[in-house]
Amino acid sequence: MFTRNLRVFFRRYSQTCTFRTSELSPAQHSENQIGLFYTIDKNLCKQLFGHGGLPKSYMKQTKTFTETTLMVRLPALDVINCIKNTDFDKPAVRYVLYGEKGAGKSLTMAHLLHYAHEQEFLIVHVPWVSEWLRRVPRHKEMANSPTKEGFVDLPLDAAAWLLHFKTQNQTLEYTWSKRESTSQGAPLLELVELGIARVKYACDVIDALVHEIKLLSNNKCCKTFVAIDGFNSFFYPLTRLRTPTKRTVSPEEVSLTTSFLTLTKNDWTNGVVVVTADQLAVPEDHQESYLPKYLLYKKGFEHLDPFVPIEVGRYSEREFLTCASYYRDRLWLRGPSELEDELKFTSACNPYKFMELCAPL
């Protein structure tokens, strides 16, 4: 009995080693770990992604698997290596993650956010721009901006984002310059809490926060990591927002758009900007190509130019086999081993399609 149990243990241990890495620090990940999964601590996951950042389908999977894991992939390693070699005295470098639907852009962003947190960057993260502009609830609160004529505020969305910002950066402390609403030398956190408590002014607080963050970065008080998923949604001509007179609001008329476009300029230093260009961030009538030049339109492309394009592609042979092994370990995939060849053909090695096809098996 003991010998049989020992064989079972070593067989399981051997299988585990084929798809996991014990290296949990993104800063230490290298090409040796490509295709392997690493586990994110539960509390850290809640801090970084408790208010968004992981796809809903993936979140359901993590609950089923009772753990949050990310695969180490080359696009994330490429950006991390670039950041490690960045001269932060120069203007902020912009990176654009792009690729077909379901290739893993958001999870690559999650890997980079973990790295930024570990390296003590001040994180400015927008989980999904379309939540503001495209996915509009029936009774979404919208108001005319009290400080910017002709602009529209989304106060509840702005307050929710400030809470997200506060949670992600709860372990960091910075000071900021004197403003009317707070005392001199007050923590940056005080400005954030003002916007959370006074929802009506949350959009103006974000505007002020962006200004302060750029000043802090320029003055070497902090390193800033800006991450925006679905960035191209800012440049699609129309939103689903409607004024009381039923007029459609354009992205340029939304105050949040102005704030985050200001932050993604390269007129400041000591920072990194990573955005995604995603077909799912815009309506189906503008999903013919996943290339940045198409999705960002001329205005968005020129806004980011120059930038470093990083393609997130389908699984390689090694990544597919590793993922299949992980799914079998989590009992997400069952059946004979020959089934994997069929799944590889059917999914075309697209990570999301592969996950979906395995669900009922």
Which range, 13-17, 82-86, 142-146, 187-191, is most confident?
82-86
222 torsion bin: left (phi>0), alpha (psi -120 to 50), beta (else): beta
Residue-wise pLDDT for 79-102, tens only, equals 999 999 999 999 999 999 999 999
Q: Which amino acid, one-letter code, is at 347?
A: S
Between the alpha carbon of residue 216 and those of residues 32, 134, 347, the distances in Å are 37, 32, 46
Cβ neighbours around 219 below 10 Å, total: 11
Which range, 103-107, 166-170, 188-192, 333-337, is most confident?
103-107
Q: Alpha-carbon distance 328 to 331, whole Å?
A: 5
Q: Which helix (H) or strand (E) holds 71?
A: strand 69-71
Percent of the chain predicted with pLDDT > 70: 90
- The pLDDT of residue 139: 59
Residue-wise pLDDT for 255-291, tens only, equals 999 999 999 999 999 999 999 999 999 999 899 999 9
Q: What is the largest CA-CA distance in the chain?
A: 78
- The pLDDT of residue 68: 96
Average pLDDT over residues 214-230: 95
- Mean pLDDT, the chain, whole residue set: 89
Q: Alpha-carbon distance 128 to 78, whole Å?
A: 23
Model confidence at 138, pLDDT cuts 50, 70, 90, reads low
82 in Cβ contact with 263 (< 8 Å): no
Between residues 329 and 136, which one has the greater pLDDT?
Answer: 329
Instruction: Tell me, rounded to whole angstroms, the distance of Cα 104 from its chain centroid.
Output: 11
Residue-wise pLDDT for 303-341, tens only, equals 999 999 999 999 999 999 999 999 999 988 888 888 999
DSSP letter for each residue of 86-107 = --TTSBPEEEEEE-STTSSHHH
Sequence spans of domains, the chain: 1-72+314-360, 90-311
Q: How long a stretch of residues is the chain? A: 361
- The pLDDT of residue 181: 39
Q: Which residues have a Cβ under 8 Å from the Cβ of 196 and sit 6 or more positions away?
A: 159, 162, 163, 166, 202
3-state helix, strand, coil in the chain (%, to 5): 50, 15, 35
Q: Among 19-33, 243-257, 259-273, where is mean pLDDT lowest?
A: 243-257
Q: Which residues pair with 226 in a beta bridge?
A: 124, 273
49 in Cβ contact with 110 (< 8 Å): yes
- The pLDDT of residue 7: 42
- The pLDDT of residue 18: 84
Model confidence at 137, pLDDT cuts 50, 70, 90, reads low
Residue-wise pLDDT for 225-236, tens only, equals 999 999 999 999
Q: Which residues pair with 228 in a beta bridge?
A: 126, 275
Between residues 188 and 308, which one has the greater pLDDT?
Answer: 308
Instruction: Tell me: pLDDT of 175 over 90.
Output: no
Q: Alpha-carbon distance 350 to 320, whole Å?
A: 9
Q: Which residues have a Cβ under 8 Å from the Cβ of 302 and sit 6 or more positions away?
A: none
Q: What angle do CA 266, 300, 87 make, to 5 degrees?
A: 25
Instruction: Name which CATH class applies to 90-311.
Output: alpha beta
Q: Among 15-24, 40-49, 179-188, 247-256, where is mean pLDDT lowest?
A: 179-188
Nearest to 128 by CA among 237, 275, 230: 230
Global confidence as pTM:
0.91
- The pLDDT of residue 135: 75
Percent of the chain predicted with pLDDT > 90: 77
Average pLDDT over residues 195-199: 93
| Pairing label, strands 271-277, 224-228 | parallel
